[in-house]
Amino acid sequence: MSHTASFHFHGSLNDFLRAPRRDTSFDYTFAGSPAVKDTIEAIGVPHLEIREVRANGNSVSLSYKLQDKDEVQVYPFDGKEEELAAGIAAYRFVLDVHLGTLARSLRLLGFDTVYHNNLTDAEISGIAEEERRIVLTRDVNLLKHKAIPAGYWLRSQHTEEQLAEVVKRFRLLKQLKPFSRCLVCNGEILEVPKVDVLEQLPPKTRLYFDEFFQCSTCRRVYWKGSHYERMQALVSRLEQDLK
C-alpha cells in the first residue's frame, strides 16, 4: 500500500530541489515506513546538510519512521557555532578528485587538506571517518555516505567562489594561517635559514630574497615572491567579501 507525506525544505536545502519543489510544500508518495533520512535523500537532499527535521511539529531524528499523512519540515544549518562542524574537532578537510585547485587554495590559507586525484568515494569516506575530516564535494551522492561525519556540497564551480563558500559556511576567517602549509603535499611549512636551502634556489631568488620557508614533509622551498602577493590579495578579498 502506498502512503503520502508532505515535505517542505527550507533555506539552502532548496539548492538540491527541482524548481517546482522549492520554497513550498509538496507531496511525496512512499511504501512501507522508511526512515525519514532515506526519504529525504531519495528526494535529493544529503543528510549532512540538514540541521533539524520536524514531523507534525515535533523534532525527530533521521531514523524516524515516516508515516502516512506526516507533515515534514526540513531545516539547514544556520551558522550557529555549535553546529558548524558537526562534532569535528578541528577544521580539517578531505576533497573529492575534482577539487584540486580548491585543495591548493585551502592549503594556501593554512588548512589541513587531504587531496589526491585518484581517491575513490569509498576512500574519501574512510578518510573522513577515520581522521574526523569534513568532506567537500560537488557530488551530492558522496554526502549520502553514512560514515562521513560532516560535509558540504559546493554550489559554485569556480574556485574562488568555492573558497568563499567554505570560509563562510565554517566561519574560518579567524582561523586563517596563510603560508603555513605546503601547497603540494599538505605538510607544515617552517621558516629556515637561507644557507640551509641555498642549493635548491634559482639564481635570481638567491640574489633577491633572504627569507625562506620549507615543507617539513616534502622539503619544497617557498619564499615571499609573486605567489605570496597573490595569496595576500586573495585573503584581502575574502575578508572584504565576508565581512
pLDDT tens readout for residues 5-19:
999 999 999 999 999
Cα separation, 184 vs 82, in Å, equals: 32
Residues 170-213 have pLDDT tens digits of 888 888 898 899 999 999 999 999 999 999 999 999 999 999 99
Q: How far is C-alpha 159 from the chain's CA centre?
A: 13
Mean pLDDT of the chain: 91
Q: What mean pLDDT comes out for the span 62-76?
A: 97
* Fold assignment, 81-179: Rossmann fold (3.40.50)
pLDDT at 82: 47
Residue 217 has which C-alpha cell? 614533509
Q: Is the pLDDT of residue 166 over 50?
A: yes
Intervals of CATH 3.40.50 along the chain:
81-179
Residue 87 has pLDDT above 60, yes or no: no
What is the phi/psi pair of residue 187, to 5°?
A: -70, 165
The structure's pTM equals 0.90
CATH superfamily of 2-78: Beta-grasp domain (3.10.20.30)
CB atoms within 10 A of CB 73: 17
46 grid coordinates: 544529503
Length of the chain: 243
Taking residues 134-148, report their average pLDDT.
95
Q: What are the start and end residues of each CATH 3.10.20.30 domain in the chain?
A: 2-78
Q: Is 106 helix (H, G, I), strand (E, B) or coil?
A: helix
Distance of CA 64 to the CA centre of its chain: 27
Give backbone dihedrals phi and psi of 136, rounded to 5 degrees, phi first: -115, 130
Terminal C-alpha separation, the chain: 53
Average pLDDT over residues 148-171: 92
